[in-house]
Structure 1
């Protein structure tokens, strides 16, 4: 497939998707995010370095070439928390746009209710359990408060968030769906 065809159709090419909008062309990079949930609590990680440093988040990262989205989710969870999971439930997909950046982030969000191992700090993340009524939304990405409750309620969703910088949401859409 030629790159030109990928641009016109929005298809994947070399683990990236290409989209053409009037006046602009965006590439989309694939990411994963895993939330480990147990009755009355959720495991989050304090991001220690890189994009989103200083914020609590789920565990995840970039999908590598030749890797499926679910394989990437499992790998990132293990690398960042020391945990493995038997089952991942795909809960949602959100596209993020950051003003001034021509690369969109397509994040595939998973939920894991069972895991193996003990949460262990890594170079990138410091894991900590939070009671569901004490989730630190004020120290998380601004969009989390919109979709995070859907994951906890086991509702499937798709969304789009446009950010100015890392703190300000300029616009967003979020809808529950039958399948992701």
Structure 2
């Protein structure tokens, strides 16, 4: 039996690049990733995504500008926590990405994404995101650097996926 923790992950994109952040502290330190974090008690998931993006790189988005493109689940060998991550993407934002205590933002051209300094699972599901396909992925890790097993499914609808799982 797993104890679920809900997280958000937001990617800002344009025609040629994606904005990633280098995690400066805490879980995932020294890894490039999107922006996001824990959903607080009594907080809507979309509101958490908006809040985390602003806190981590000073960029502002409206909830209506975020598109839910994926759902990821992570488990770690010997740990009874299931990290449930809602993945969002947007091309619409205001402000200039700025470094914070948490993250150092940097734009990467799509053909130069630094997979070697990211979570190992990113190379499996990023292609779905970059092709604007909806996806569901499950990854089980040994430690933080070795994937023991995984599964990725392309989805037709995020709404149908969540309805089928009562989420």
Q: TM-score, normalised by structure 2?
A: 0.92
CA distance in 2, matches of 1:68, 1:147: 25
Aligned length: 156
Written as runs of structure 1 = structure 2, the 5 A alignment for 1:80-119 is 80-86=56-62, 87-119=65-97
Map Cα deviations across residues 48-76 of structure 1 (whole Å, 9 max, x no partner). 00000000000000000011111100000
Q: Which has the higher contact order (CA 8 A, sep 6+)?
A: 2
Q: CA RMSD in A?
A: 0.6
Equivalent of 2:27, from 19, 44, 51? Answer: 51
Q: Name which of 105, 121, 130 aligns with 1:152.
A: 130
Runs of 4+ in 1 over 3 A off after TM superposition: none
Q: What's the counterpart of residue 130 of structure 1? A: 108
Gaps of 5+ in 2: 159-167
1:91-121: per-residue Cα shift (whole Å, max 9, x none)? 0001100111111100000001111000011
Determine helix, strand or coil for the equivalent of 1:49. Answer: coil
Instruction: Kindly name which structure, 1 or 2, has the bigger radius of gyration based on alpha carbons.
Output: 1
Task: Give the structure 2 partner of residue 175 of structure 1.
Answer: 153
Deviation at 1:36, TM superposition (A): 0.4
1:30 aligns with 2:6: yes
Q: What's the offset of the Cα at 1:154?
A: 1.0
Structure 1: give runs of 5+ residues left out of the alignment: 1-24
Q: Secondary structure at the match of 1:75?
A: helix
